[in-house]
């Protein structure tokens, strides 16, 4: 029997207990042995909870117990999760986590530590909640040179954008709903401003390059500036708006960015609704593949952690190679990156817009006679910023997904 410990009895931690007990029989057959949750570490007590007798408050109990072979870290945040994970790995205990902040910051170091101590550091649940995307990248697509990943990697913002489009509900109300459903981070700014998606694309970028993508160097923009009026324009263009996280190999280096974009209805990412996430992957041999599923929520995320636990049990005493080195990969300077933009500006700017951007395709809404929208040609970020400074009535802009 394999004995495991869970660090943090919150949404995901309690979900793991539920998954492991509800599917205990088939998990036993698939893992080759029974899995037992021996400890749950939390600072709180849970009187009346069926698992209350498993709760401990001291990490030493877990680290010093030779029976524990796998630790699930579902505490979130940097510390003490980082110290606990390192110490567990040094004790030869595999660690499975949903903690994207920790993985994005220290993935290379923790994987190296696991290799040194013949155990594993697995993090399927850190990207895309329940969607299998890490395992496809590190096992199914290992013969591919992955040249592009473009994904909807945050459930909260996709839920908000979907409802903004379909119900025209106000932003604040939608965020509350996402929080009630357990999708949002403790600090929802991480979702709204794109930081969560940024960490996730840094993890995917590190796996495809085999080096470390520093999330602090990724251009990141969230959805707090997106309004129902933007969706009204998008409808006229036959598009929708999605928060896209991208990493792409170009001739002169890797581009990485997180930003909202107008996505054509022909693009499969446009049909991803509510809390669902999707990751589009382009490989040099296989071409395009896409991975889709619930990007957040208790059981979806917990199931991904539980699958990692089973993998660790199947590979006890053996480190499964995952190429992610500490050396940093240099990203392309975002100011030189080219896109087409949709621009909203005052009706009085019509002549100026043509002078700056040439002949442009214009879009007007009856409900907004004081302004108009137009689509630019492909232009660099720096050049675009320079030109929009000269538009006196500039309202907003959004990039167009190519």
Which value, in Å, is the radius of gyration of the alpha carbons in the chain? 23
Please give the structure tokens belonging to residue 13. Answer: 């931690």
Q: What are phi and psi of 143, to 5 degrees?
A: -90, 0
Q: Binding of ligand HSE at residue 101 (CB under 6 A)?
A: no
- Pick the piece of the chain touching ligand HSE (CB under 6 A) from 40-48, 180-188, 211-219, 242-250: 180-188
Task: Report the nearest approach of ligand HSE to the CB of residue 30 (Å).
Answer: 25
> Which of 76, 151, 155, 373 is the binder for ligand HSE (CB under 6 A)?
155
- CB neighbours of 223 closer than 8 A, spacing ≥ 6? 157, 160, 161, 192, 194, 243, 260
Task: Report the nearest approach of ligand HSE to the CB of residue 17 (Å).
Answer: 19
- Nearest CB to ligand HSE, comparing residues 113 and 153: 153
- CB neighbours of 7 closer than 8 A, spacing ≥ 6? 13, 41, 59, 62, 71, 72, 73, 74, 75, 81, 84
Q: Binding of ligand HSE at residue 154 (CB under 6 A)?
A: yes
- Nearest CB to ligand HSE, comparing residues 183 and 357: 183
- Nearest CB to ligand HSE, comparing residues 121 and 384: 121
Query: How far apart (Å, rounded) are the C-alpha atoms in residues 402 and 398?
Result: 13
> Which of 69, 156, 246, 270 is the binder for ligand HSE (CB under 6 A)?
156
Q: Binding of ligand HSE at residue 73 (CB under 6 A)?
A: no
Task: Report the nearest approach of ligand HSE to the CB of residue 93 (Å).
Answer: 24
Point out the catalytic residue in the list 100, 200, 242, 387: 200
Query: How far apart (Å, rounded) are the C-alpha atoms in residues 104 and 261?
Result: 24
- Nearest CB to ligand HSE, comparing residues 149 and 296: 296
Task: Report the nearest approach of ligand HSE to the CB of residue 201 (Å).
Answer: 12
> Which of 296, 329, 331, 395 is the binder for ligand HSE (CB under 6 A)?
296
- Nearest CB to ligand HSE, comparing residues 308 and 381: 308
**Known catalytic membership, residue 200:** yes
- Nearest CB to ligand HSE, comparing residues 37 and 296: 296
- Pick the piece of the chain touching ligand HSE (CB under 6 A) from 140-148, 179-187, 204-212, 215-223: 179-187
> Which of 13, 129, 130, 260 is the binder for ligand HSE (CB under 6 A)?
129
Q: Binding of ligand HSE at residue 295 (CB under 6 A)?
A: yes
Task: Report the nearest approach of ligand HSE to the CB of residue 251 (Å).
Answer: 32
Q: What are phi and psi of 258, to 5 degrees?
A: -130, 125
Task: Report the nearest approach of ligand HSE to the CB of residue 154 (Å).
Answer: 4
Say if CB 379 and CB 341 are below 8 A apart. Answer: yes
Q: Binding of ligand HSE at residue 185 (CB under 6 A)?
A: yes
> Which of 183, 276, 342, 384 is the binder for ligand HSE (CB under 6 A)?
183
Nearest to 356 by CA among 397, 390, 396: 390
Instruction: Supply the DSSP string of 186-240, one letter for each residue.
Output: SSTHHHHTSHHHHHHHHHHHHHHHSSB--GGGSEE--STT--HHHHHHHHHHTEE
Task: Report the nearest approach of ligand HSE to the CB of residue 188 (Å).
Answer: 8
Q: Binding of ligand HSE at residue 308 (CB under 6 A)?
A: no
- Nearest CB to ligand HSE, comparing residues 129 and 293: 129
Instruction: Supply the DSSP string of 297-348, one letter for each residue.
Output: SHHHHHHHHHHHHHHHHHTTT-PPP----SSBPPBPPGGG-EEEEEEEEEGG
In sequence order, the β-bridge partners of residue 379 are 339
Please give the structure tokens belonging to residue 247. Answer: 């990493």
Number of CB atoms found within 10 A of residue 272's CB: 23
Query: How far apart (Å, rounded) are the C-alpha atoms in residues 205 and 92?
Result: 28
Q: What are phi and psi of 90, to 5 degrees?
A: -65, -25
| Total number of residues that touch ligand HSE (CB under 6 A) | 11
Say if CB 141 and CB 288 are below 8 A apart. Answer: no
Which residues are catalytically annotated?
200
Interface residue list for ligand HSE (CB under 6 A) = 129, 154-156, 183-185, 191, 196, 295-296
């Amino acid at each position: 029997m394999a004995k495991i410990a869970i660090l943090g009895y919150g949404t995901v931690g309690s979900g793991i207990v539920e998954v492991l007990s509800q599917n205990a029989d088939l998990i036993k057959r698939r893992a080759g042995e029974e899995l037992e949750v021996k400890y749950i570490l939390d600072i709180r007590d849970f009187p009346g909870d069926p698992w209350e007798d498993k709760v401990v408050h001291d990490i030493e109990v877990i680290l010093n117990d030779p029976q524990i072979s796998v630790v699930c870290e579902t505490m979130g945040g940097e510390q003490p999760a980082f110290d606990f994970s390192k110490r567990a790995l040094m004790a030869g205990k595999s660690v499975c986590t949903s903690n994207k902040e920790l993985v994005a910051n220290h993935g290379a170091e923790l994987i190296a530590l696991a290799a040194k101590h013949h155990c594993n550091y697995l993090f399927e649940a850190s990207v895309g909640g329940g969607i299998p995307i890490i395992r496809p990248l590190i096992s199914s697509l290992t013969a591919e040179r992955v040249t592009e990943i473009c994904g909807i990697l945050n459930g909260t913002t996709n839920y908000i954008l979907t409802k903004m489009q379909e119900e025209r509900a106000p932003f604040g109300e939608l965020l509350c709903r996402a929080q009630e459903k357990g999708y949002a981070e403790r600090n929802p700014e991480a979702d709204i401003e794109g930081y969560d998606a940024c960490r996730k694309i840094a993890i995917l970028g590190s796996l495809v390059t085999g080096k470390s993508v520093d999330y602090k160097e990724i251009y990141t923009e969230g959805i707090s500036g997106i309004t129902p009026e933007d969706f009204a324009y998008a409808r006229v263009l036959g598009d929708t708006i999605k928060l896209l996280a991208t990493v792409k190999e170009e001739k002169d280096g890797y581009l990485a960015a997180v930003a909202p974009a107008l996505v054509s209805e022909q693009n499969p990412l446009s049909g991803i609704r509510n809390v669902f996430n999707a990751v589009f992957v382009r490989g040099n041999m296989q071409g395009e593949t896409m991975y889709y599923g619930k990007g957040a929520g208790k059981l979806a995320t917990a199931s991904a952690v539980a699958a990692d636990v089973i993998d660790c049990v199947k590979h006890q005493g053996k480190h499964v190679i995952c190429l992610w080195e500490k050396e940093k990969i240099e990203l392309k300077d975002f100011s030189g990156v080219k896109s087409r933009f949709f621009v909203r500006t005052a009706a009085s700017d019509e002549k100026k817009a043509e002078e700056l951007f040439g002949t442009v395709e214009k879009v007007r809404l009856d409900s907004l006679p004081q302004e108009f929208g137009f689509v630019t040609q492909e232009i660099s970020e720096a050049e675009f910023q320079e030109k929009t400074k000269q538009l006196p009535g500039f309202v907003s802009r959004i990039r167009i997904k190519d």
